[in-house]
């Protein structure tokens, strides 16, 4: 039976037939059909769709979805060593509480600033704390994710320099590369890869010097790199870029910035990155939170994509307040000449990150960086003593991710990971197809949430698997 | 009477004390530290951070209080009417929130082995099928993070299609009506197309004559929202589709206004080849002050091979992520979409079903027409474009007359409405209406709340004609009075971060 026949749906108060009739009387119609009378008959749906027919009770919805989710196995149920763009970090309880406040949750983009000061201030604080962390001057209030932020950064660099070539490291996340290409190609940009030092994984400077030219709009690097090592030549790369009039774009994992030198102190003109680790759960890869920041240079700031919140005063000058700034760059005003088409972004995730950054403070970020680096390097030391394993491949310092190679064991990553899973452990990401030259290699991730026990368990299991062979 | 909280809350940087901490993180065990040795030696010298970030130093108590106070100076759908035109501010079911906050979703990593993610893949696969049914498309991609992201993907698909046919070189133009959302021309431009604007006729619909004159062998496609931004159904959609398709172009449906069409009319049946859906509008997921949303894209069979990877496939027993799509446009973001948002949409569809979604559409239209009727005759407001025609999800009034007669503009009306405890409508859009007030009540609000809104507008009109000063200086009851938005963007006064603020202060001495 249709539960809506005589009563309203809980979410639709006016769906009560009696109220509908009252309203129709007021409008002067007899049936709702009259409001659709201008739609050609041939388009009117004649048959029910293949979707659930009746409204379910809230209890049934809950039971149904919980049953489906129960089929998943999460990192709460097994030690897991996956990272590569989406990382397991602890989300403090207060972060979750704040982003569930319905005044934040159910509000729209703050078009009417006087009634939206809370969201505007929270986003201004997010921007400001991202600036402190990255040592940049201006940040927008979010992009969709790191990958799309990179795509936008490349396009921005091209607009600023009026050039069309982007240089990127060969060691880059394949999904970020694919996204960059999707954003770059329609703008007529070409993306060129710079190779790496086989020994350390770091960017090959000779290769960069060979590739860079007066056509180069931007040089992009990631630090820590996709494969986890720390790039140490950042300042040389920056000066090489600037020497040729190109912009320098740096991609970061912000959890490293309590201990690693921030992009703003290394000559970055634009910083992009992924702030999901700062207070946002993994959620199977989305929503994420793209960082986008630049220097205080109007040539850059005017070309920035995305929403930016600014400080202002009331008209009478008596009080401070916040509102959206530089809207003339945006699509709703500039239309096809806008710096980007983005409007809805990841604002609430940015609020979560603001709460997270405020909770941690300078000391918390140092402690976070240290905890991650200790634990990841502990995992490296535990795995590298397993016979048949090389971890990591590169002779470089690693932050939270590192490569694990099984070539000497004569096993594929796939085989090892299958056996690990049988033992209730989830291995890292198989990157052997992404970088065939690195052999049977996986990318492992260890953060502050991994315990020494879990790490020991992993090393032990891999040891057994390799011995069994 | 409405009175918003006004805390005069300092910036978080001005709270706390030196060395105060807000959270205790898990640390490395002693034996771990011993095994690794001195971190100072491990971190390469040249890459060490020497200046600690100047973040706030606050306790958890202060953090909780600060952000709770900020939230009290914000306004959401749970606070009251939010008739922001084209934004579809409807109720966000709490059960969906609860389900999206379960660890069984939160703690899932996107690269997990397929055997450990069958549940979430099933949810996403079914959601794709349902959205395809609801839009009359063949396949749906859940990746886009927002409506504009969906548009970007859509225009990339138009590119891929013409490229495949070897016609991209000459098909350089995308047509948009003058009433289109700003994202349409912006998205077309992002995908490398030139934008051709066609005007609307006196009845508010796309001018067929102008459209015919605009199409050519250079036409790559048309982006259209139907009903359009005036809330009027494009009655000539049949002819429009024919004109575009005959010219070899594709038809793109901007789904921002899909709500009134649910389970009644499907974009695919109207001839649209590509459709984006604003999950955070039509499917009841919260806007979060500007995201995260989700903007899935549905396409006709012909375009399915171009969709981003991976695709979720099902063989009757097992769900799998398929990357083997040689003609795919690749990726427009990392991973598979804003999954936590998508799960809420799945819960929303279950909570309403076909019958409930049809009710959503019909009551959203009923509410819009009811409000339109109630606002008829409010002094100074007029309804441009065929006032006899029923509107769909929204109606657009003009305050031009009021402005001429009293000096009170659409902006002033919007600000004054805030004092009555309702959010303002969208203003100055669509661009083809002077002093526009674009009102979309959605199906969410009960008749009494709609009546209150109409009454508030009526009172504001009275104020405008009797004591315009009151309206011109509004708002009074919000956390802050009228803000100077120009100052925020002026190069000399612009402050976009705490860092910039301090720099400006130092410069001033």
Q: Map B8-42 to HEC letters.
A: CCCCHHHCECCCCCCCCCCCCCHHHHHHHCCHHHH
Range 346-405 of B in CB contact (< 8 A) with A: 346-347, 349-357, 359-360, 362-363, 365-367, 369-370, 373-374, 389-390, 392
Collapsed DSSP state (helix, strand, coil) of residue B406: helix
Q: Single out the residue of A136, A137, A104, A95 nearest to residue A123, CA to CA.
A: A104
Q: Are A261 and B48 in contact (CB under 8 A)?
A: yes
Nearest-10 Cα torsion for B51, B55, B57, B62: 180
Neighbours of A373 (CB within 10 A): 28
Nearest-10 Cα torsion for B72, B73, B79, B80: 170
Of A35, A101, A108, the CB nearest to B82: A108
Q: Are B401 and B445 in contact (CB under 8 A)?
A: no
For CATH 3.40.640.10, the residue range(s) in chain B are 98-350
Cα A241 vs. chain centroid, distance in angstroms? 26
- Pairing status of strand A290-294 against strand A270-274: antiparallel
Going by C-beta distance under 8 Å and a sequence separation of 6 or more, which residues neighbour residue B121? B114, B312, B319, B320, B321
Distance CA A449, CA B109 (A): 14
> Which chain A residues have a beta carbon less than 8 Å from that of B43?
230, 259-260, 373, 397
Mean pLDDT of all residues in A325-347: 89
Distance CA A40, CA B269 (A): 12
Mean pLDDT of all residues in B358-375: 98
Sign, CA dihedral A132-A135-A141-A147, equals negative
A48: enclosing H helix or E strand: none
User: Please, what are the domains in chain A?
Assistant: 13-67 (no CATH), 93-357 (3.40.640.10), 363-468 (3.90.1150.10)
Q: What percent of chain A has pLDDT over 70?
A: 99
Residue A198 DSSP label: T
Q: By the CB < 8 Å criterion, does B68 face chain A?
A: yes
Neighbours of A159 (CB within 10 A): 16
Distance CA B461, CA A54 (A): 44
> Which chain B residues have a beta carbon less than 8 Å from that of A85?
334-335
Residue A443 token pair: 């990318």
Collapsed DSSP state (helix, strand, coil) of residue A412: coil
Is A286 in contact with B64 (Cβ distance < 8 A)?
no
H helices present in A168-272, as ranges: 174-184, 205-211, 234-243
**pLDDT tens-digit profile of A47-75?**
999 999 999 999 999 999 999 999 999 99
Distance CA A9, CA A17 (A): 11
Residue B54 has pLDDT above 70, yes or no: yes
Nearest-Cα residue of chain B relative to residue A75: B107
Residue A1 has pLDDT above 80, yes or no: no
Residue B39 has pLDDT above 60, yes or no: yes
For residue B437, CA distances in Å to B201, B229, B259, B398, B446 come to 20, 11, 19, 6, 21
Nearest-Cα residue of chain A relative to residue B155: A186
Sign, CA dihedral B352-B356-B358-B360, equals negative
Terminal-to-terminal C-alpha distance of chain A: 61
Residue A190 token pair: 């070409």
**pLDDT tens-digit profile of A106-116?**
999 999 999 99
Biggest distance spanned by C-alpha atoms of chain A: 83
Is A111 in contact with B426 (Cβ distance < 8 A)?
yes
Of A110, A111, A325, the CB nearest to B494: A325
At residue B1, the pLDDT reads 84
Residue A2 has pLDDT above 70, yes or no: no
Residue A229 DSSP label: B
Sign, CA dihedral B432-B433-B435-B437, equals negative
Q: What percent of chain B has pLDDT over 90?
A: 97
Residue A328 token pair: 């003339």
DSSP string over B112-151:
S-GGG-HHHHHHHHHHHHHHHHHHT-SEEE---SSHHHHH
Going by C-beta distance under 8 Å and a sequence separation of 6 or more, which residues neighbour residue A415? none
At residue A333, the pLDDT reads 82
Collapsed DSSP state (helix, strand, coil) of residue B210: helix
**pLDDT tens-digit profile of A77-125?**
999 999 999 999 999 999 999 999 999 999 999 999 999 999 999 999 9
> Lowest mean pLDDT: which of A160-164, A241-245, A431-435, B429-433?
B429-433
Distance CA B409, CA B432 (A): 16
Distance CA A450, CA B124 (A): 29
> Which chain B residues have a beta carbon less than 8 Å from that of A383?
none
> How many beta-carbon pairs under 8 angstroms link A with B?
731
- Pairing status of strand B219-224 against strand B173-177: parallel
Residue A259 has pLDDT above 60, yes or no: yes
Is B186 in contact with A2 (Cβ distance < 8 A)?
no
> Lowest mean pLDDT: which of A4-13, A152-161, B91-100?
A4-13
Q: Are B111 and A82 in contact (CB under 8 A)?
A: yes
Collapsed DSSP state (helix, strand, coil) of residue B397: strand
Nearest-Cα residue of chain B relative to residue A89: B107
Q: Are A256 and A233 in contact (CB under 8 A)?
A: no
Mutate one of B6, B13, B28 to test the A interface: name it (highest A CB count within 10 A): B28
Is B48 in contact with A261 (Cβ distance < 8 A)?
yes
Q: Are A374 and B25 in contact (CB under 8 A)?
A: no
Q: By the CB < 8 Å criterion, does A34 face chain B?
A: yes
Distance CA B292, CA B289 (A): 9
Distance CA A422, CA A255 (A): 32
> Which chain A residues have a beta carbon less than 8 Å from that of B447?
13-14, 19, 22-23
At residue A335, the pLDDT reads 86
Q: Single out the residue of B350, B366, B361, B363 nearest to residue A58, CA to CA.
A: B350
Q: Are A341 and A151 in contact (CB under 8 A)?
A: no
Query: Can you name the residues that pair with A190 across neighbouring β-strands?
Result: A165
Distance CA B154, CA A245 (A): 34
Mutate one of A335, A354, A394, A398 to test the B interface: name it (highest B CB count within 10 A): A335
Of 3.40.50.620, 3.60.15.10, 3.90.1170.50, 3.40.640.10, the CATH number of B98-350 is: 3.40.640.10
Q: By the CB < 8 Å criterion, does A172 face chain B?
A: no
Q: Are A74 and B103 in contact (CB under 8 A)?
A: yes
Neighbours of B34 (CB within 10 A): 11
Residue B226 token pair: 């139907």
- Pairing status of strand B274-276 against strand B297-299: antiparallel
H helices present in A267-326, as ranges: 298-301
Rounded to 5 degrees, what are φ and ψ at A169? -75, 150
Neighbours of B11 (CB within 10 A): 17
DSSP string over B355-386:
HHHHHHHHHHHHHHHHHHHHHTT-TT-B--S-
Q: Are A133 and A140 in contact (CB under 8 A)?
A: no
Is A70 in contact with B77 (Cβ distance < 8 A)?
no
Q: Are A280 and A349 in contact (CB under 8 A)?
A: yes
**pLDDT tens-digit profile of A196-216?**
999 999 999 999 999 999 999
Residue A231 DSSP label: P
Q: Single out the residue of B154, B128, B305 nearest to residue B224, CA to CA.
A: B154
Q: Are B290 and A345 in contact (CB under 8 A)?
A: yes
Query: Can you name the residues that pair with A313 across neighbouring β-strands?
Result: A320
> Which chain B residues have a beta carbon less than 8 Å from that of A345?
146, 290-292
Distance CA B173, CA B39 (A): 57
Rounded to 5 degrees, what are φ and ψ at B258? -75, -25
Q: CA-based Rg of chain B, rounded to a whole angstrom?
A: 26
Distance CA A54, CA B117 (A): 28
Distance CA A319, CA A312 (A): 9
Going by C-beta distance under 8 Å and a sequence separation of 6 or more, which residues neighbour residue A196? A169, A170, A171, A202, A203, A204
Range 347-386 of A in CB contact (< 8 A) with B: 347-349, 351, 354-355, 357-368, 370-371, 373-375, 377-378, 381
Q: Which residue has the tokens 């205080």?
A: A296
At residue A41, the pLDDT reads 94
At residue B509, the pLDDT reads 67
Residue A469 has pLDDT above 80, yes or no: no
At residue A3, the pLDDT reads 64
Q: Would you place residue A330 in the very low, low, confident or very high pLDDT band (cuts 50, 70, 90)?
A: confident
Nearest-Cα residue of chain B relative to residue A48: B354
**CA–CA min distance A409, chain B (Å):** 22
Average pLDDT of chain B?
A: 97
Interface predicted TM-score (ipTM) over 0.90: yes
Collapsed DSSP state (helix, strand, coil) of residue A243: helix
Collapsed DSSP state (helix, strand, coil) of residue A205: helix
Residue A305 token pair: 């994509």
């Amino acid at each position: 039976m249709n539960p809506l026949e005589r009563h309203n749906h809980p979410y639709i108060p006016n769906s009560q037939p009696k109220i509908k009739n009252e309203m129709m009387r007021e409008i002067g119609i007899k049936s709702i059909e009259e409001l659709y009378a201008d739609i050609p008959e041939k388009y009117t749906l004649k048959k029910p769709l293949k979707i659930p027919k009746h409204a379910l009770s809230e209890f049934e919805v809950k039971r149904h979805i919980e049953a489906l989710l129960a089929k998943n196995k999460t990192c709460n149920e097994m030690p897991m060593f996956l990272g590569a763009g989406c990382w397991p970090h602890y989300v403090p309880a207060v972060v979750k509480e704040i982003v569930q406040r319905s005044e934040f949750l159910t509000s729209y983009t703050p078009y009417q600033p006087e009634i939206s000061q809370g969201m505007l201030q929270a986003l201004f604080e997010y921007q400001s704390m991202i600036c402190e962390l990255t040592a940049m001057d201006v940040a927008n209030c979010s992009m969709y994710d790191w990958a799309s932020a990179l795509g936008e950064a490349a396009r921005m660099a091209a607009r600023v320099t009026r050039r069309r070539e982007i240089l990127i490291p060969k060691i880059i996340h394949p999904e970020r590369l694919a996204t960059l290409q999707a954003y770059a190609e329609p703008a007529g940009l070409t993306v060129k890869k710079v190779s790496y030092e086989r020994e350390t994984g770091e960017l090959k400077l000779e290769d960069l010097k060979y590739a860079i030219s007066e056509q180069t709009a931007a040089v992009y690097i990631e630090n820590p790199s996709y494969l986890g090592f720390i790039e140490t030549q950042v300042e040389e790369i920056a000066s090489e870029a600037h020497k040729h009039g190109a912009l320098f774009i740096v991609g970061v994992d912000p959890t490293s910035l309590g201990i690693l030198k921030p992009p703003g102190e290394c000559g970055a003109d634009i910083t992009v990155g992924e702030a999901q680790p700062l207070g946002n759960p993994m959620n199977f890869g989305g929503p994420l939170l793209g960082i986008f920041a630049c220097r205080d240079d109007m040539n850059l700031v005017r070309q920035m994509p995305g929403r930016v919140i600014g400080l202002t005063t009331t008209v009478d000058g008596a009080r401070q307040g916040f509102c959206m700034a530089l809207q003339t760059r945006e699509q709703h005003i500039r239309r096809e000449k806008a710096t980007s088409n983005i409007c809805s972004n990841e604002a609430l995730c940015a609020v979560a990150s603001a709460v997270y950054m405020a909770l941690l403070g300078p000391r918390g970020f140092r402690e976070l960086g240290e905890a991650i680096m200790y634990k990841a390097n502990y995992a490296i030391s535990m795995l590298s003593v397993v016979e048949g394993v090389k971890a990591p491949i590169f002779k470089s310092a690693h932050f939270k991710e590192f490569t694990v190679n099984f070539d000497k064991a004569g096993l594929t990553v796939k085989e090892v990971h299958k056996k690990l899973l049988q033992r209730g452990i989830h291995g890292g990401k198989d990157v052997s197809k992404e970088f065939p030259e690195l052999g049977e290699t996986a990318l492992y991730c260890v953060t502050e949430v991994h315990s020494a026990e879990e790490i020991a368990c992993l090393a032990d299991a891999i040891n057994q698997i390799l011995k069994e062979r | 009477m409405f009175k918003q909280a006004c805390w005069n809350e300092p910036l978080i940087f001005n709270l706390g004390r030196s060395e105060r901490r807000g959270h205790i993180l898990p640390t490395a065990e002693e034996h771990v530290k011993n095994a690794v040795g001195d971190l100072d030696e491990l971190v390469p010298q040249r890459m060490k951070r020497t200046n600690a970030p100047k973040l706030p130093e606050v306790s958890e108590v202060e953090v909780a209080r600060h952000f709770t106070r900020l939230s009290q100076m914000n306004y959401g759908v749970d606070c009251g009417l939010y008739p922001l035109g084209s934004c579809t501010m409807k109720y966000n079911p709490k059960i969906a929130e609860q389900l999206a906050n379960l660890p069984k979703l939160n703690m899932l990593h996107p690269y997990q082995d397929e055997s450990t993610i069958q549940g979430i893949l099933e949810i996403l696969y079914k959601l794709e099928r349902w959205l395809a049914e609801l839009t009359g498309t063949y396949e749906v991609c859940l990746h886009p993070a927002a409506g504009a992201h969906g548009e970007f993907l859509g225009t990339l698909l138009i590119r891929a299609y013409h490229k495949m046919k070897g016609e991209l070189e000459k098909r350089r133009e995308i047509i948009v009506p003058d009433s289109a959302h700003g994202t349409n021309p912006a998205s077309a431009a992002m995908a490398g197309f030139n934008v051709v604007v066609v005007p609307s006729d006196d009845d508010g619909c796309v001018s067929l004559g102008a459209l015919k004159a605009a199409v050519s062998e250079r036409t790559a496609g048309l982006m259209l929202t139907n009903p359009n931004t005036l809330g009027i159904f494009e009655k000539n959609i049949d002819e429009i589709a024919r004109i575009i398709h005959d010219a070899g172009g594709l038809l793109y449906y901007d789904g921002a206004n899909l709500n009134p069409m649910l389970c009644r009319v499907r974009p695919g049946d109207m001839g649209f080849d590509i459709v984006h859906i604003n999950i955070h509008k039509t499917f009841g997921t919260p806007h979060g002050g500007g995201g995260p949303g989700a903007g899935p894209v549905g396409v006709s069979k012909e375009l399915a091979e171009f969709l981003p990877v991976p695709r979720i496939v099902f063989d009757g027993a097992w769900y799998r992520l398929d990357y083997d799509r040689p003609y795919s446009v690749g990726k427009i973001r990392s991973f598979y979409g804003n999954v936590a948002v998508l799960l809420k949409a799945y819960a929303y569809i279950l909570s309403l079903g076909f019958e409930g979604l049809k009710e959503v559409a019909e009551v959203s239209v009923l509410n819009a027409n009811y409000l339109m009727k109630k606002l008829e005759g409010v002094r100074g407001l007029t309804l441009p474009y065929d006032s006899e025609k029923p509107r769909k999800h929204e109606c657009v009034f003009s305050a031009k007359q009021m402005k001429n007669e009293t000096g009170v503009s659409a902006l002033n009306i919007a600000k004054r409405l805030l004092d009555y405890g309702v959010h303002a409508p969208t203003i100055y859009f669509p661009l083809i209406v002077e002093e526009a007030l674009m009102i979309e009540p959605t199906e969410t609000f009960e008749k009494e709340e709609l009546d209150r809104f109409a009454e508030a507008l009526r009172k504001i009109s009275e104020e405008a004609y009797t004591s315009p000063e009151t309206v011109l200086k509004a708002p009074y009851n919000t956390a802050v009075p009228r803000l100077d938005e120009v100052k925020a963007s002026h190069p000399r006064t612009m402050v976009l971060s705490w860092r910039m603020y301090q720099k400006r202060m130092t410069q001033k001495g």
